[in-house]
Amino acid sequence: SEGAEEDAEQSLSMLCDALAADGHGPFVVVGCGHAARLAWVLGGRDDVLGVSLVSPVLDGPMTPEPFRRAPVLVFLA
């Protein structure tokens, strides 16, 4: 919460790598509130099947859809 978004993206990407090395995955990434933007970015990983955005706070423009396959997008208010 106190760090930069780039730090969180790198940390979560490393977590996914470590879980995949242990045989876990593919993943569905869930982002809630302000973390929705981070979930959106992580959706571009090859091992992410979908993204769920719960009550997303999307202040500012979003990057073009980074997904390589059909994502599962869920917007809940």
Which tens digits make up the pLDDT trace of 16-49?
999 999 999 998 888 888 888 888 888 888 888 8
Q: What is the pTM of this model?
A: 0.72
Query: In degrees rounded to 5, what are phi and psi of residue 31?
Result: -125, 130
Query: In degrees rounded to 5, what are phi and psi of residue 27?
Result: -115, 155
52 pLDDT above the threshold of 90: no
pLDDT above 90 as % of the chain: 14
CA-based Rg of the chain, rounded to a whole angstrom?
12
Task: Report the alpha-carbon distance of residue 8 to residue 32 in Å, rounded.
Answer: 14
Average pLDDT over the chain, rounded to an integer: 81
| All residues at 6 or more sequence positions from 32 whose CB lies less than 8 Å from its CB, including other chains | 53, 54, 55, 56
50 membership: H or E segment, kind and range: strand 48-54
